[in-house]
Amino acid sequence: MKILYRPLAIGSLSLDGNLFLAPVAGYTDRAFRAICTEQGADFSFTELVSAESVIRSGAKPGDGSVVDRLLRKAEGERHYAIQLFGADPERMGMAAALLGSWGPSAIDINAGCPVPKVNKLGAGAALMKDPERLGQTVEAVVKAAGAYLGKIPVSIKLRLGWDSCSINYMECARAAVAAGAAMVSLHGRTRAQLYGGRADWDAIGELASQIPVPVTGSGDLYTPRDAENMLSSTGCAAVMFARGLMGNPFIFKTAKSYLTTGSFTPPSMEERIRTGLRQLELLAKDTGEKHACFEMRKHFCAYTKGFPGGAALRDRLVHGDSIARYREIFREAGLGI
């Protein structure tokens, strides 16, 4: 039987396992990544960060600025990649060169974001419309990583292509690898699909069989069984959880258990609440209590999905405005811990 949970090397970077936390803007901040690390994430990505904001902000590690908060390693995180987006190869290289003092283990290039504001600039998924510029972008970032960041690996995250008439992930992946990319992640949807429809796992398998660097699969990973199915059916080196993480950072522990022993224990309601409250406290340290409480509304709704009486509970959770109030809401619901 093939061992599906296994160590992995991305260029010079050695990871203990192949269960990754995907970049998810608005979700995978430091607090959530710290929680996922506790649950066993082997590698994680920051939310996408604009190369221009890195260059223009003059942010420094620990200055508490918005850019610093986006770039910083999470508590306990061993290995993480900073994900950059931008349209101009030279500016991407310049931004990458500034990242050394945050100590990332890798730099990832976003070539999948479907947001019009980003695409209009020629960045995100729009980069795939121009494989030559995509290759130049990887080359510039690899050069910067070589010169300023101790030769850390550079990876890229692709979609299938812009739309169903322009599927070109293979061409883009080859251009990226030729330019020095040490890993390619593939979200099995086109930009036109956004997040709808089913992700095409066959494309992930095709890519994994054709390029000489590890391929990380993305799309429709919600359960430990999904991770097993993607790893076994596509032959990809790693999988990255995205929407499946919402309210379920436990997926790292449960998937690892399932892949290594064939069974897993789902988290109890108490564990979910305790974890959510810990996330809230970590986030409050980063962004202040008020902002953290606001941000945690969506997370608490996700953590309590499937609870008996969950709808009534969520009606109250979306009004949580202090850590004490959140604790009180859970106590009043008989879920005090």
Q: Which chain residues interact with ligand FMN by CB under 6 A?
A: 22-26, 47-48, 83, 110, 112-113, 157, 187, 195, 199, 218-221, 242-244
Residue 113 annotated as catalytic: yes
* Shortest separation between residue 161's beta carbon and ligand FMN, angstroms: 14
Task: Give the nearer residue to ligand FMN in terms of CB position, either 94 or 242.
Answer: 242
Task: Give the nearer residue to ligand FMN in terms of CB position, either 25 or 121.
Answer: 25
- How far apart CA 85 and CA 158 sit, in angstroms, is 12
Q: Decide if 232 contacts 204 (C-beta within 8 A).
A: no
Question: What 3-state class would DSSP assign to 176?
Answer: helix
SS3 sequence of 234-295:
HCCCEEEECHHHCCCCCHHHHHHHHHHHCCCCCCCHHHHHHHHHHHHHHHHHHHCHHHHHHH
Q: Is 294 exposed, middle or buried (CB count within 10 Å of its CB: 0-12, 13-18, 19+)?
A: middle
User: In Å, how far are 78, 151, 231 from 216, measured between CA atoms?
Assistant: 19, 21, 9
* Shortest separation between residue 21's beta carbon and ligand FMN, angstroms: 9
Kindly report the backbone phi and psi dihedral angles of residue 154, in degrees, each rounded to the nearest multiple of 5, phi listed first.
-120, 135
Task: Give the nearer residue to ligand FMN in terms of CB position, either 185 or 313.
Answer: 185
* Shortest separation between residue 99's beta carbon and ligand FMN, angstroms: 16
- How far apart CA 212 and CA 186 sit, in angstroms, is 15
Q: Considering 113, 172, 293, 301, which one is annotated as catalytic?
A: 113
Task: Give the nearer residue to ligand FMN in terms of CB position, either 62 or 232.
Answer: 232
Task: Give the nearer residue to ligand FMN in terms of CB position, either 114 or 333.
Answer: 114
* Shortest separation between residue 185's beta carbon and ligand FMN, angstroms: 7
* Shortest separation between residue 297's beta carbon and ligand FMN, angstroms: 15
Q: What is the dihedral of CA 99, 146, 91, 185, to 10 degrees?
A: -80
Q: Known catalytic residues?
A: 113
